[in-house]
Chain A
């Protein structure tokens, strides 16, 4: 019985391919493609600010042979915001590139939710030229700052050691090294960023585990069929 469990454990370990957090290359179906989400950040830009910042990273050059360098016109990024805690999106922001520009739509209340969507052409937010090395930003008339372009990959993680740590053996069972080596130092990613007044998103009634009102948010990439 014990042996079976050990073999089951080894089976779990062997089934885990080389992978990376935070979401970079997280699943074989999307890993390394132009639609691979690398990371997602959401934060208050300064203490007491009435704005929220959303940053979505797609693609990465942290490993060789990954798709990296240009936004794909067939891939739409969506930021989903649940206000009431039922984990269904109440507000959506979309971003999709066309001919050197990134076009943003929303926030809008979707008429249907789920895995398929269309560009909300009637809810245009604004657009920004996709940057090269120097950041080009724009601010819409309703106070939303927009950015799209290559940036440093701000994620930090010793992923090389991590892949060894999750497959320990009697000869290597010491866990992480301190200090470790940041695998992502020097890596780039393609970012979109928005800084948006909270008044445009609505007032959340959902709360987190310590009882504070929160937006429950997630990002998706969506490929044209």
Chain B
């Protein structure tokens, strides 16, 4: 009888631990399940994709490429789109060459400030070339994912003090609401080794800023961090 009681108690304890265990598992997933009568059945097929801002918009050069980009898994994107992205990048430079009265061959993408930053203390030279060629840049951008560093301050990209030392440069740690992603993208695509190659001076077009900044009431300091609708 005594032994039975002990066994029973032991079984009861095990059961209670199991219940707690289950409850903990639920907590790890998140908890509150939806009401049983709510219907979530069915198969859902992907229709749109976004990683970094503006990639499909700017670098996909045709309606077909844009549509295809939205239904391509990221691990296939580099193989599928890099060459087309590089052609589009050069095509945009060629268009300006022609509009400015040169031939298309006269104006090409120039390796950007990121290459100088990656070269670090070693100055960029013929023996130590800027590594960010049009092919390298479009290879990185073709993998259209947004990187977020969980243990670092978030900045889409900042060139620090700028050319030539770029002291304090940091980036690729996520995207904040206030980050000027368009200007960053323009600088990396058209800014060349100084970040100011086409800066609107000396008869050249302004292609490294769109001249607009964040509207202050668009964001808030507490969750959900975005301003009430207008």
Residues of A within 8 A of B (CB): 2, 5-6, 8-10, 12-13, 15-17, 19-23, 26-30, 33, 35-37, 39-45, 47, 50, 52-53, 55, 75-76, 82, 86-88, 96, 98-99, 103-104, 106, 108, 113-119, 121-127, 133-135, 137, 140-142, 144-145, 147, 150-158, 161-162, 165-170, 172-182, 185-188, 191, 193, 195, 198, 200-201, 204, 206, 208-210, 212-225
Contact = CB atoms under 8 A, between A and B. Distances in A.
Given A52-B148, A208-B172, 17 more contacts: A2-B104, A9-B98, A33-B47, A44-B149, A45-B223, A87-B143, A106-B29, A115-B46, A116-B45, A127-B32, A142-B28, A145-B223, A151-B224, A156-B214, A156-B218, A176-B210, A220-B49
Nearest to B38: A98
Given A42-B175, A43-B154, A157 B210 contact: yes
Given A6-B98, A82-B145, A114-B73, A176 B152 contact: no
Interface residues of B, number: 104
9 contacts: A2-B104, A13-B91, A23-B48, A30-B67, A98-B34, A154-B177, A209-B140, A221-B48, A223-B44
A182 to B, nearest CB: 4
B225 A53 contact: yes
B202 interface: no
Interface of B: 27-34, 38-51, 53-54, 56-58, 60-63, 66-67, 69-71, 73-75, 77, 88, 91-92, 94-96, 98-101, 103-105, 114, 117-118, 140, 143-154, 170-177, 180-182, 198, 200, 204-207, 209-215, 217-219, 223-230
Contacts of B226: 55, 151-152, 154, 191, 193
Nearest to A125: B30
B91 A27 contact: no
A124 B217 contact: no
Given A124-B29, A179-B212, A212 B172 contact: yes
Task: Choose among B117, B147, B209 the residue with the greatest number of A CB atoms under 10 Å from its CB.
Answer: B147
Contact of B200 (A96, A127, A178): A178
